[in-house]
Amino acid sequence: MSRRAFRDAESEGDLADVRDAPLSRMTVDIAIPVYNEERALPGCIETLWTYLSERFPFAWEITIVDNGSTDGTLLAAEGLASAWPYVSVLHQDRKGKGLAVRTAWLASTADVVAYMDVDLSTGLDALLPMVASLVNGHADIAVGSRLASGARVIRGVKRDITSRGYNALLRLVHGVRFTDAQCGFKAARAEVVVPLLRRVRDNGWFFDTELLLLAELNGLRLHEVAVDWVDDVASQVAIPRVASGNLRGMLRLARLRLLGAATVSGLPQRPAPTATHPDAVLGQARRVTSRRRYASRAPVHLAGAAALVAYVITRFVVAGPGRRAP
């Protein structure tokens, strides 16, 4: 559907049935963080806009977040916002993917906030299942996963090994249940994610992991969607620098957990579970919390933390900054 056709259909009321349906009253704001992406941005917005207008049943908007670009990205973003309805631009002077997502989500008035990478490596067919799990109340946060059963991934061996190793280390150190912390394809209910964002410290690549760790530690419901992923070989991610920052972030979160300082206040509370059948015979009440689940695995987590510390010492202290560890 072209931009003109979309405007004509909207003015004639042809979209009213979709926009006014009960579930469609929920609004979804999709952030696109960009840094020096003037080449990739126009194709991203056109592809995403067309998909949303033709196949997405909820009211939506797209927010381009320029975080300190030094090329023509901001100018390109402003041009796209003028040309396409429901597209807006935010600008910040500082770099940082996490900072860009945080800025967009905190500024949004939508019921559901999401973000995706500008290269659209994740297939858009996963967007609706991800958002639907939030709209129907099944989950608080939904994430795309390249490692979940059913995912189809095309990427290089180096990146695949790095991703699998990082997520395995997360499971060892923190005992997480989600399979892919770093997939650039996430969404959350706004009322849930705003209190979390106030506690997330990282503004870079560890932002995603910290958000999910705090969510799981505080008993929030996470839903994973297996995605199709085709790696963009032009990606600007520097793996060694990102990996180093992620390791430091994991240690910081492990310390918070050990100190009991990972609790997030202000989260909406779900009512206690009750029997649905009026004649149900109930046994002795038993309450299992996320904190108890994590406490029961404390020895395993401590062993994982020790392994992580040993790795960092070997890599950055024994080997030295200019040498490679054996």
Per-residue pLDDT tens listing for the chain (326 residues):
445 544 555 555 554 444 444 555 899 999 999 999 999 999 999 999 999 999 999 999 999 999 999 999 999 999 999 999 999 999 999 999 999 999 999 999 999 999 999 999 999 999 999 999 999 999 999 999 999 999 999 999 988 998 899 999 999 999 999 999 999 999 999 999 999 999 999 999 899 999 999 999 999 999 999 999 999 876 666 677 777 888 899 989 988 888 888 999 899 888 888 888 888 777 665 555 444 444 445 455 555 555 555 555 555 544 454 444 33
The closest alpha carbon to 245, from 201, 210, 203, 206, belongs to 206
Residue 174 makes CB contacts below 8 A (sequence gap 6+) with 213, 250, 253, 254, 257, 301, 304
Burial of 141 (0-12, 13-18, 19+ CB in 10 A): buried
Ordered domains of the chain (ranges, CATH): 3-258 (3.90.550.10)
Residue 269 makes CB contacts below 8 A (sequence gap 6+) with none
How do strand 141-145 and strand 185-189 relate by DSSP bridges?
antiparallel
Which DSSP helix (H) or strand (E) runs through 59?
Answer: strand 59-67
Residue 291's pLDDT is 44
CA pair distance 187, 133, nearest whole angstrom: 10
Q: Output the furthest CA–CA distance in the chain (Å, rounded).
A: 70
How do strand 112-116 and strand 185-189 relate by DSSP bridges?
antiparallel
Is residue 112 within 8 A of residue 190, CB to CB? The reply is yes
CA pair distance 130, 139, nearest whole angstrom: 9
CA atoms within 13 A on the CB side of 110: 28
Residue 311's pLDDT is 52
| pTM, rounded to two decimals | 0.79
CA pair distance 45, 87, nearest whole angstrom: 9
Q: Which residues pair with 34 in a beta bridge?
A: 66
